[in-house]
Structure 1
Amino acid sequence: MTTHTIPEGYREDRKGRLVQESQIAAIDLARDQLVGELINGARKLHQQMAEFRGTAFGDIAAFVQLSAEQYGATIGGDKGNVTLMSYDGRFKIVRAVQDSIQFDERLQAAKALIDECLNDWTEGSRAELRTLVNNAFRVDNDGSIKTGEVLSLRRLKFDDPRWTQAMAAISDAVTVVGSKTYVRFYERDAQGQYQPISLDIAAVKHV
């Protein structure tokens, strides 16, 4: 970003050199003007969205507290999943908290216990289970365990105490390393399905 004064009648090129405008092709000047105008518009829109985001979170938190006060309760902070509906059900607002989790060393203990179970269960039907487990513990491109697939193993119920202990180890190994709070907006369509009101410029339909 330019932080120094550029003499009138000059433009600074990408290498920081001053070039007389008279020596710059008309198409390059037109391109520069277009980029500048659109960037200014994008900056204003970004600022408006930031202000709207703050307003939305603040208003939702205030309403949740107001609703809680009807029962004499006090809610600390602005965390927690909340769904707010318009009176006619046409619109829906969802505030959701998404935790980022990691597994500590106890996940290795869980994997060892699971492997013991799989090695002892010799029925042919266990082959699919072994594939499911191996896929769950497979790392992705950045070397991280796919947390969702590992946690999904807890939905499987077996009588073997080693399996039960392994599932407990998985639960104990979970560590929340961060969380993000989102707010999403929906409108019900003619078929009664809620469609997101996208605030992502790439997903907004051209009008």
Structure 2
Amino acid sequence: MQQHDIPAGWKLDGEGRLVKIENISEQVLEEDALVLQFIEQAKAVHHAMQQLKTALTHTSEAFIAKLVADYGVKRLEKIKGNIDFFSFDRSIRISRRVQDTIKVNARIEAARQLFDQYINVVTQDLADDGVKVLINRAFKPAKKNEFSVSKLVQLLNVEISHPLFRQAVEALRDALETDTSCVYYNFYQRNPQGAYELLSLRFSDVPVLAVSSATPATQTAEAS
């Protein structure tokens, strides 16, 4: 049943049944009013944040593309990278951070076999014991048929020039691919001490302002 279909003097309960308002306790009605009042404000804030992020995303990406095309700005060449934007006086900073979710594809088996070949070749070289442990841990599934991406990525950063190892690393690179990318924007203002302070847009991080003894809720109740 739609909200506009509910008869005057009635409310719809959680089971979809009509209940007369006179049969609902005052405490439940007050709780209902509180929730309905603040959900509308929350929706408005959510919509405003959505508009802000959409505008900032499109504007910043267009700005980056223009700088790269017109001026060859190397620091912005990788549009998907992490970038900081500053005001002229450096008092305000907007940071864009990209967090990729990596998944393992079917090529992981080829990479595993190449690493096994490398281990077999250097098995008598005690200097490589640490690397062998790293390889074995990386290719031990954390769950059924699932590998720890973080442990696999560690292998990409190991500096070993052996041709078999380099071949295995390249196969591993092919086995890791970006599944999803999340873009985060953070806003900072420089405080009097010269340090940047985060202007948090997370609801849980926003401090509650001090209010007078007559709070908005009290004023609303008095007005009614």
State the TM-score, normalizing by the size of structure 2: 0.74
AA paired with 2:108? Answer: L
Structure 2 residue aligned with 1:12: 12
Q: For 2:152 and 2:164, locate their aligned partners in 1 and report how far apart those are by CA, in whole Å.
A: 16
Structure 2 residue aligned with 1:58: 58
Q: For 2:193 and 2:123, locate their aligned partners in 1 and report how far apart those are by CA, in whole Å.
A: 48
Q: For 1:110 and 1:69, locate their aligned partners in 2 and report how far apart those are by CA, in whole Å.
A: 38
Q: For 1:37 and 1:92, locate their aligned partners in 2 and report how far apart those are by CA, in whole Å.
A: 35
- CA contact under 8 A between 1:79 and 1:97: conserved in structure 2? no
Closer, same or farther in 2 for the Cα pair 1:68/1:79, shift >3 Å?
A: closer
- CA contact under 8 A between 1:79 and 1:181: conserved in structure 2? no
- CA contact under 8 A between 1:93 and 1:186: conserved in structure 2? yes
Segments of 5+ residues of structure 2 without an aligned counterpart are 210-224
Structure 2 residue aligned with 1:85: 86
Structure 1 residue aligned with 2:219: none
Q: For 1:54 and 1:121, locate their aligned partners in 2 and report how far apart those are by CA, in whole Å.
A: 54
CA offset at residue 60 of structure 1? 1.6
SS of equivalent residue, structure 1 residue 175: strand
Q: For 2:153 and 2:97, locate their aligned partners in 1 and report how far apart those are by CA, in whole Å.
A: 20
SS of equivalent residue, structure 2 residue 101: strand
Q: For 2:136 and 2:36, locate their aligned partners in 1 and report how far apart those are by CA, in whole Å.
A: 52
Q: For 2:119 and 2:63, locate their aligned partners in 1 and report how far apart those are by CA, in whole Å.
A: 51
| 1:14-53 deviation line (CA, Å, top 9, x unaligned) | 1111111111111111111111111111111111111111
Larger helix percent: 2
AA paired with 1:84? Answer: F
Q: For 1:64 and 1:154, locate their aligned partners in 2 and report how far apart those are by CA, in whole Å.
A: 29
1:161-180 equivalences under 5 Å are 161-180=163-182
AA paired with 1:135? Answer: R
- CA contact under 8 A between 2:118 and 2:165: conserved in structure 1? yes
Segments of 5+ residues of structure 1 without an aligned counterpart are none
CA offset at residue 159 of structure 1? 3.7
| Alignment size in residue pairs | 203
CA offset at residue 65 of structure 1? 4.4
SS of equivalent residue, structure 1 residue 158: coil
Q: For 1:142 and 1:45, locate their aligned partners in 2 and report how far apart those are by CA, in whole Å.
A: 42
Structure 2 residue aligned with 1:99: 100
Structure 2 residue aligned with 1:146: 148
AA paired with 1:204? Answer: V
Structure 2 residue aligned with 1:23: 23
Structure 1 residue aligned with 2:113: 112
- Deviation larger for 174-183 or 189-198: 189-198
Q: For 1:72 and 1:162, locate their aligned partners in 2 and report how far apart those are by CA, in whole Å.
A: 38
Closer, same or farther in 2 for the Cα pair 1:58/1:157, shift >3 Å?
A: closer
Q: Percent identity?
A: 29
Closer, same or farther in 2 for the Cα pair 1:188/1:144, shift >3 Å?
A: farther
Structure 1 residue aligned with 2:216: none
- CA contact under 8 A between 1:80 and 1:95: conserved in structure 2? no
- Deviation larger for 192-201 or 22-31: 192-201
- Say which structure, 1 or 2, has more relative contact order (CA 8 Å, 6+ apart): 1
- CA contact under 8 A between 1:102 and 1:175: conserved in structure 2? yes
AA paired with 1:80? Answer: K
Closer, same or farther in 2 for the Cα pair 1:97/1:192, shift >3 Å?
A: same
Q: For 2:22 and 2:57, locate their aligned partners in 1 and report how far apart those are by CA, in whole Å.
A: 51
Aligned CA RMSD, in angstroms, stands at: 3.0
- CA contact under 8 A between 2:104 and 2:176: conserved in structure 1? yes
